[in-house]
Amino acid sequence: MATSMSGPIISGLEVRGPINPGFEEILTPEAMAFLAELEGRFGGERLRLLDVRTKRQALLDQGHKPDFLPETRAIRDADWTIGPLPVDLLDRRVEITGPVDRKMVINALNSGAKVFMADYEDATCPTWTNLVEGQINIRDAVRRTITHEDPASGKKYRLSDKTAVLKVRPRGWHLEERHVLMDGEPMSGALFDFGLHVFHNAHELLARGSGPYVYLPKLESHFEARLWREVFLVAEEYLHLPHGSIKATVLIETILAAFEMDEILYELREHSAGLNCGRWDYIFSFIKKFRKDPAAVMPDRAEVTMATPFLSAYSQLAIRTCHRRGAPAIGGMAAFIPVKDNHEANEVAFSRVRADKEREASNGHDGTWVAHPGLVPVAREVFDAYMPMPNQIARKRTDVTVTAADLLAVPAGPKTEAGLRNNVAVGIGYIEAWLRGQGCVPLFNLMEDAATAEISRTQVWQWLHTGTALDDGQAVTLDLIDRIVAEELSAWETRVGANAYAKGRYADAASLFRDLVAREDFTDFLTLPAYERVVAEGA
C-alpha cells in the first residue's frame, strides 16, 4: 500500500509523489539531501539557460541563421583531446536503447549489444511510478539481482553472464519533476534522474569495473554542457568519487549544438565519452528552429534520410570533430523493428538497416544505435566487417570540410497528403500511448519515441503555418488537418479494434495533437503539455 510523503525532508526539498513499497529505498533522506544540493546549486542556472534558448529562438524567428562561434575559434583551432576512455567504453559498436521498465532492462542488457542506454527521457513517460520504479530496476541491474516474471505468460527473465555496459540518459534541461519541490518549485527532471542514479549506483559500478556513464540529451550550447560539467564535479566531490569517473556522451540532436561540437567536447573534457548523432531529434530541431521560414520547409518525413546532404554533413562533421579530439562518434538510431512471422517484411527492413549501418561504418563512426534486440546481430555484423578494431578514432577524416551552409541546406523532396496523413497517424498513436504512461511504442513497423513523434507534429505545424501547398496542389489548411485527424482517429479504431480503442486515449491524443498544430505560438516540446495532463491525472 502506498503511503504519502509530504513536507520538507531536507534543505527545502519536498516529495509530493506517493511512496509505494520499495520507493523508500530510493528516496532516502541521504539521497534527498544530495538532490537538494544539486538543485540548490544548479537549478537557477538551468532556468537562466532555458531563458537564453528563448532569446535565441526569437533571433531565429527574425531570420538570423546560426554559424560557428567567432568567440570560441581558439578552442576549435587548438590541439587538445578529451580525457582517457575507460576500458569498457573503448568498443561501442552496437548500442541498444529503451525505457527503464524491468523486462526491457533485462532484455536490453542481454541483447548482445555492447552498451545499453537506459532512457528516462524520450522512451519513458515520466509518471512518478515509471521514474522511481526505473531507479529500482537500474539499481537491481547494477547489482545483478534483477529478475522479472511475466504475469501473463509466466516466463521468467534474469541477466545472462555477459551483459551490455550500462549508460543512463536523464531527462533534458527543459523538463521538470513536478513530484519533487525545492522551496515550493519543481526541481529539474535531469538532476532528479541523474542524482538518484549516481547516488545509488556510482560506487557499485566502479567496484564492478565500470562506472557512472550517462548520455546527455538535447543540449543547445556549450554553456549547457558546462553546467553538466559543474554538476559532475560537485557530484564527484560530494560522493567521494574519483575525479573524471563520471563519463558523458552528448547527443548532438539540435541544430544549434551542431555548430558547437568542439566546444561541447572541450567543456566536458575529462568527463567526455564522445558524441552521438541523434538523428530524429536533430530533424525535429531543424524544423522547430526554422519553423517560421518558408524557405526551410522539409519534405515528407520519410524522404529525410541520412543520405540527404545536410544530415550527411552533420554526421561527418561529428566524426571529424570527435576523432580529432580522441573521442568516439556514435551513429544514429535504426528505428525498424522485426515483424513477427513476416520474413519478407523483415528482409526489407534488415536490408535498409544494413545499408544505413554500412554508411555509418564506412564513414568512420565508432558504433551505432538500434531500438530492438532483433537488430543487434545485423548492426554488429556490419561493424565487425568494417571495423575489426575496437573503434575508428585513428581515422581522423581530415578530408571532411563542413560549412554553415552545408549544415543549413534544406533538402528537396515531395510534400504529399500521404506524408501528412502518416504524421497525423503517428502523432495520435504515440501521444495515445504516452498518455497511458508508455514512452515508446511500435507503430507501422517502426519504434516510435518522443523524438519521432515530435517530427510528425512539428512538420504538420510548419506546413500549416507557412502556407505550404502539397504536391497535388492542396493547401495545408486547418480544415484539411481536421479532416485527416478525424479520418485517422477512425482508422485507429479499425487498427486496434473497438474494445482496445474504447479503453485507450485516442480521442484525447487527437485533441492534443490538433491543439499543438493549430495554435499560433509553437509549443517547444509536446511532452510539456502532455506531462501537465499526466500530472493532473495523478500519475
Hey, which residues are catalytic here? 169, 449
- Report which secondary-structure segment, H or E, holds 279: helix 279-289
> What's the grid cell of residue 506?
485516442
Integer-rounded Cα Rg, in Å, for the chain is 22
Say how far apart CA 81 and CA 459 lie, in whole Å.
Answer: 38
Q: Is 13 left (phi over 0), alpha (psi -120 to 50) or beta?
A: beta
CB distance 169 to 217 below 8 Å: yes
Pairing of strands 156-158, 185-188: unpaired
Q: Which residues pair with 336 in a beta bridge?
A: 446
Q: Is 533 left (phi over 0), alpha (psi -120 to 50) or beta?
A: alpha
Q: What's the distance, Cα to Cα, between the start and end of the chain in Å?
A: 16
C-alpha of 518 from chain center: 26
Q: Which residues pair with 8 in a beta bridge?
A: 14
Task: Look at residues 333, 297, 299 and name the one whose alpha carbon lies nearest to residue 315.
Answer: 333
276: exposed, middle or buried (Cβ count in 10 Å: 0-12, 13-18, 19+): buried
Task: Return all residues near 404 (Cβ < 8 A) that are at least 6 apart.
Answer: 65, 66, 67, 68, 259
Say how far apart CA 192 and CA 205 lie, in whole Å.
Answer: 19
The one-character DSSP state at 178 is E
Supply angle C-alpha 85, 131, 138, rounded to 5: 45
Query: CB-side exposure of 284: number of CA atoms within 13 Å?
Result: 24
Supply φ then ψ for residue 97, to 5 degrees: -125, 155
Among the residues of 62-209, which ranges form H helices? Answer: 73-77, 102-109, 128-142, 189-207
CA distances from 172 to 119, 186, 218, 219 (A): 11, 14, 6, 8
Task: Return all residues near 217 (Cβ < 8 A) that are at least 6 apart.
Answer: 121, 122, 169, 170, 171, 172, 251, 253, 278, 281
